[in-house]
């Protein structure tokens, strides 16, 4: 009842994005840099994705999950960059409330998928390294397909429910201290919704904490088993597990900022907030293809052949 009490008094259709710094002076520089980064994200992720799809010897669960992760990086970037590029060249940085909710839904559902994919990849590595004889029977095509469907479907359902609740909450403010629609949207609500808070905590536990804990537990098991085996076994485990752990640490760090800091109303300096927000969608989409393209032996081998062929 209290959530909707302002519905007849306030009717906010557009939200102003106030998180930009020095827009009048640096907007063309921002636009050029972000456009180049966006193109680079497409090229880097697309190249490794093409290598995995094109070469049959890479049609294994581990590489299929990597391809899904790279595809997810492109979708993740596309939820932010097009609107960002438009804002850089616009006199006013605004977005409709409905578009804001759609952007929030896409951003967090794809982000949840990232954590699920990393957990799935950890499970795949555990079976491959710790139960090699049972690997073909456990990681069948049907299993891989089911895991991929769950990785995309579960986060989307979670965030869809939260997005529907957000759309029904009335706004009392129209100025968002950010450059895209994320958790900061809760600071615009007239009254804090208990249902949304509970739903948000449940989503955080289900989409982030559980996959992260499962991934850490799985890699701990792998490290314990690897420690008891030969150097060659430990080297093989390190080659496949280290890239996944680097990606998990990087994405967890950025997600922690977005979930905790971005939602807290504080005197966090605007330039610092701007820089930290940029990191959320700058590093990770570029980080993934470089990590997997350089650290995974089979992908690196095909990548070198592709680059040498293109220079002829």
Which tops the pLDDT comparison, 173 or 30? Answer: 30
Average pLDDT score, the chain: 84
Burial annotation 284-297 (CB, 10 A radius, 16+ → b, else e): bbbbbbebbbebbe
Residues whose CB falls within 8 Å of the CB of residue 13, separated by 6 or more in sequence, listed in order: 96, 97
**pTM confidence score:** 0.87
Specify the range with the lowest mean pLDDT, choosing from 125-129, 136-140, 276-280: 276-280
Out of 34-38, 102-106, 224-228, pick the least confident: 224-228
Is 60 exceeded by the pLDDT of residue 312? no
Residue 16 parent element (H or E): strand 14-17
pLDDT at 7 over 50: no
* Residue recorded with tokens 């880097």: 44
Per-residue pLDDT at 212 exceeds 60 = yes
- Alpha helices per DSSP H over 55-140: 61-78, 81-88, 97-130, 135-138
pLDDT of 34 over the 90 cut: yes
Counting every residue written for the chain, the total comes to 312
Residue 304 or 74, more confident:
74
pLDDT of residue 1: 42
Confidence of residue 262 (pLDDT cuts 50, 70, 90): low
Residues near 311 by beta carbon (within 8 Å), at least 6 away in sequence: none
Residue that wins the pLDDT comparison between 123 and 192? 123
Q: According to DSSP H, which parts of 186-230 are helical?
A: 194-204, 210-227
pLDDT at 236 over 90: no
Give me the mean pLDDT over the 219-242 stretch.
77
pLDDT for 154: 93
pLDDT band at 194 (very low <50, low <70, confident <90, very high): confident
Q: What is the pLDDT of residue 2?
A: 41
What integer pLDDT is reported at residue 187 of this predicted model?
82
What does the pLDDT look like over 143-163, one tens digit per residue?
999 999 999 999 999 899 889
Q: Of all residues in the chain, what percent carry a pLDDT higher than 70?
A: 91
pLDDT at 297 over 70: yes
Statement: residue 263 has pLDDT above 60: no
Backbone angles phi, psi at 8, to 5 degrees: -85, -15
Q: Maximum CA pair distance of the chain?
A: 71
User: What are the extents of the domains in the chain?
Assistant: 2-305
The 3-state DSSP class for residue 133 equals: helix
Q: What span, in angstroms and rounded, lies between the C-alpha atoms of 95 and 286? A: 26
**Model pLDDT, residue 36:** 95
List, in order, residues 6 or more apart from 203 with CB less than 8 Å away: 108, 112, 158, 159, 162
Classify domain 2-305 by CATH number: 1.20.1070.10
Choose the weakest-confidence range: 19-23, 62-66, 165-169, 277-281: 277-281
Q: What is the pLDDT of residue 142?
A: 93
DSSP conformational letter for 94: E
In the structure, what pLDDT confidence band is assigned to residue 115 with cuts at 50, 70 and 90?
very high
- The region of weakest confidence among 85-89, 143-147, 230-234 is 230-234
Statement: residue 299 has pLDDT above 60: yes
């Amino acid at each position: 009842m209290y959530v909707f009490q302002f519905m007849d008094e306030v009717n906010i259709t557009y939200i102003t994005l106030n998180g930009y710094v020095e827009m009048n002076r640096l907007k063309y520089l921002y636009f050029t840099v972000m456009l180049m980064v966006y193109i680079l994200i497409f090229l880097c992720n697309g190249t490794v994705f093409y290598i995995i799809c094109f070469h049959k010897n890479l049609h294994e669960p581990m590489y299929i999950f990597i391809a899904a992760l790279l595809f997810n990086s492109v979708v993740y970037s596309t939820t932010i960059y097009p609107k960002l590029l438009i804002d850089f060249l616009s006199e006013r940085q605004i977005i409709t409330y409905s578009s804001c909710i759609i952007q929030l839904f896409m951003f967090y559902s794809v982000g949840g998928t990232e954590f699920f994919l990393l957990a799935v990849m950890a499970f795949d590595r555990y079976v491959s390294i710790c139960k090699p004889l049972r690997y073909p029977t456990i990681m069948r095509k049907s299993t891989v397909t089911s895991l991929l469907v769950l990785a995309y479907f579960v986060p989307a359902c979670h965030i869809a429910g939260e997005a529907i609740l957000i759309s029904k909450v009335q706004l009392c403010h129209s100025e968002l201290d950010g450059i895209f629609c994320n958790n900061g949207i809760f600071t615009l609500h007239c009254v804090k919704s208990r249902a949304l808070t509970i739903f948000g905590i449940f989503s955080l536990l289900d989409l982030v904490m559980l996959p992260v804990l499962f991934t850490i537990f799985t890699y701990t098991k792998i490290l314990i088993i690897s420690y008891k085996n030969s150097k060659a076994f430990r080297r093989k485990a390190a080659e496949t597990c280290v890239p996944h752990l680097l990606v998990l640490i990087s994405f967890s760090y950025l997600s922690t900022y977005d979930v905790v800091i971005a939602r807290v109303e504080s005197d966090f300096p605007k330039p610092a907030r701007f820089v930290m927000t940029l990191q959320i969608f700058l590093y990770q989409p570029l980080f993934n293809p470089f990590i997997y393209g350089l650290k995974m032996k089979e992908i690196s081998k095909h990548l070198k052949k592709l680059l040498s062929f293109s220079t002829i």
